[in-house]
Structure 1
Amino acid sequence: MKMTPVEQLFQAFDETTQILQEELSCTYLDALGETGENFFHGKVIQEEVSELSKKRLTKHCEAFAPEKYNKETIRKAYQLAILKGMQQNVQPNHQMTPDAVGLFVSYLVGKFTKNQKDFTVLDPAVGTGNLLFTILNQLSEQEINASGVEIDETLLALAYSGANLQEHPVQFYNQDSLEPLFIDPVDVVVSDLPVGYYPNDVRAADYELKADQGHSYAHHLFIEQSVRHTKDGGYLFFIVPNNIFVTEEAPKLNQYLKSSTHIQGMVQLPLSMFKSEAAAKSILLLQKKKEGIEAPKKALLVQLPKLSNFEATHSVVQQIDAWFETEKNFL
């Protein structure tokens, strides 16, 4: 059976990654980042690789050319290799935004920015870059200046290689996103927020959303940091836990969002995407306040059906389109 371009490219990434993993005595994910660099440069750049392995790797590197594949094919093949690596070495913070979610966030970002030929975007928890690359690939008609922040060096190396392979000029920063960021305010923030407690209480003390006692919620602090780094009138798209507004810290978050942003809406993702109802997530849509901009009369509140159910999904998309028609005076 003939392989698809995604399968062919995944196989090339996988074979070369396994060779490098053995040669460099490292994890699959670290080796994949190195493989991405080799494919991008068209040659083997690791000096410690044996001559025999070098020949095998070079053959694959020379066969790859970005123009042979569209950007989405490269992203999907690279994503498959990352998923394989994550299964071998599972860590709770090594999670990837599912494709269907990335595509839906891209659709929403496109709706809110449709009148902008160009804009700046920041992902403060960029991980492997999959969510950001999905948006850049889907909104290719617009000129997007993108930045990403990530504290985990392995994930950042994968994001860097992925950006090179897809020819996206993304600016990456390797740091804790809750430390001061040397990034100018952006038009759009997108993020699949890291959920849990933030261990650095001294740093958390700089935030309005710090907990009164004990560790603060990292995802709350990320929201506040993101709002700080968004231009007045800019939009924020967060993937958040469904229970974000019912925890003990929720009243403080509610108060903060009311004073700093207009809540545009919340899109609940299909429960079938998650292992349990407790793990389910939504997309929270915010706009930073700006003089002259009013809140929508009615926030967009929808629940996405199983995305394989075409009719039900189409019906929800029509609902969203109708909301934009009614509320477009705020755009």
Structure 2
Amino acid sequence: MENFEKIFNQFLDCVQTLQAALNVSFTEALVETFDNLEQGKIKVENGAPDEKTVAQLSKKYQTLDYDQISQKNKVQVFTFLTLKAINDDSQDANQMPTPPAISTVVAMLMHKLLKDEQMEVVDPAVGTGNLLFSIVSQLKALNHSKDNYQLVGIDNDEEMLNLADVAAHLNNIDIDLYCQDALMPWMCPNPEAIVSDLPIGYYPVDENAKNYENRAEKGHSFAHLLLIEQIIRNLQPNGYAFLVVPKAILSGKIGAEFMPWLTKKVYLKAIVELPDDMFKNKFNQKSILVFQNHGDHATSSEVLLTKLDSLKKEEALIRFNVKLDEWYTKITH
């Protein structure tokens, strides 16, 4: 741990030195630092960084000895620095990386429901790529290292996509990244699976919201509801969606309108309520929503409805796995 702390502080020093020299955001300096280290040379554009800084950085990079650091440590350092970037640059709360425990639960659901074959997986709100990369790494491990996934990430924030690009490279993951509003027509083919931790809030482009059934009667519409509608439009027949959504859309006043609409459009498969202790207050609570698009192989079945115990205890995942197995056996026999 002491060694990791030392490496982390060395990386942090490199990023902050470059940030000061270029007068850019922490995010930009972080992306450029890893680019420099991966390429083995310091990028200089229009005389910046200046010669003095280039000499300083060269010395710091030499001390760091980047090529000797394990891939696991590089990924870990980059993940912590990404969190710092989002905090320092006052990014939106929606851009915070998804906690690893949630990725594990989604990976367990995907492993059960998806066929063991090549498929395209899209995250239409990919952010830093944390959720998608963590899930795919776990699925590969469960699948004897077989990589069956062609990945696509969509986001309207170029800085987040730059972070996702570096993270993909560090994790040895191939992904096509598109910078666009995910509520506009997608530039990628229709996928067999969609995974996303949906951004929560209002969608500012009222003119485009008019193209959606779940638009608000007046004022801005909820981006997360429109995005679920867009996901259904883009999902292949029989395809699956695994979404981290606000718990509020599944019950109460919003749920009373939204859920009947949703159950007409798709087959609900699972609603897994995440533990209360993962969220600061009850308004922020989330659930994992799984559904299958209509198609010739898709059928309605009993829905897995469960609430997870605190994921701080390891047995919570074991208990969930038992429930998942029982449910899956019931719906497939």
TM-score, normalised to structure 1, is 0.90
% identical aligned pairs: 33
Give the AA of the match of 1:326.
Answer: K
- In terms of mean alpha carbon deviation, does 240-249 or 176-185 score higher? 240-249
* Separation in structure 2 between the aligned mates of residue 288 and residue 195 of structure 1, nearest angstrom: 23
Aligned to 2:143: none
Runs of 5+ in structure 2 lacking a partner?
A: 141-145
Q: Distance in 2 between matches of 1:185 and 1:50?
A: 46
Correspondence for 1:143: 148
Question: Is it true that 1:246 corresponds to 2:246 in the alignment?
Answer: no
Name the CA shift for 1:259/1:143 in 2 (closer, same or farther; >3 Å): same
Q: Aligned letter for 1:120?
A: E
Q: How does 1:98-137 map to 2 (within 5 A)?
A: 98-113=99-114, 115-137=115-137
Instruction: Work out the CA distance in 1 between the residues paired with 2:300 and 2:6.
Output: 48
Report which stretch shifted further, 7-16 or 85-94.
7-16
Match of 1:315 in 2: 319
Separation (CA, whole Å) in 1 of partners of 2:38 and 2:57:
13
- Partners of 1:161 and 1:146 lie apart in 2 by 15
Match for residue 191 of structure 1 among 174, 179, 196: 196
Residues in 1 aligned to 2:290 and 2:150: alpha-carbon distance in whole angstroms: 21
Deviation, 1:8, is 5.6
Partner of 1:167: 172
Cα–Cα, structure 1 residues 312 and 181, in superposed 2: closer, same or farther, change >3 Å?
closer
Contact 2:248 2:254 in 1 (8 A): no
Aligned-residue RMSD, C-alpha: 2.1
After superposition, the Cα gap between the structure-2 partners of 1:305 and 1:49, relative to the gap in structure 1 and judged at 3 Å, is same
Which is further off, 29-38 or 89-98? 89-98
Residues 116-155 of structure 1: CA distance to partner in whole angstroms, max 9, x if unpaired?
Answer: 2321110000111111111222122232100011111211
Query: Structure 1: how far apart are the matches of 2:21 and 2:220?
Result: 42
TM-superposed deviation, 1:101: 1.2
TM-superposed CA distance for 1:267, in Å, is 0.8
Q: Distance in 1 between matches of 2:289 and 2:251?
A: 14
Match of 1:18 in 2: 16
Please give the alpha-carbon distance, in whole angstroms, between the structure 2 residues aligned to 1:284 and 1:135.
16
SS, match of residue 96 in structure 1: coil
**How far, CA to CA, are the matches of 2:76 and 2:124 in structure 1?**
22
Aligned with 1:302 (options 295, 306, 313): 306
Instruction: Tell me how far 1:26 sits from its aligned partner.
Output: 1.1
CA 1:40–1:218 in structure 2 vs 1: closer, same or farther (change >3 Å)?
Answer: same
Residue aligning to 2:330 = 326
Match of 2:219, SS state, is: coil
**How far apart, CA to CA, are the structure 2 residues paired with 1:73 and 1:325?**
39
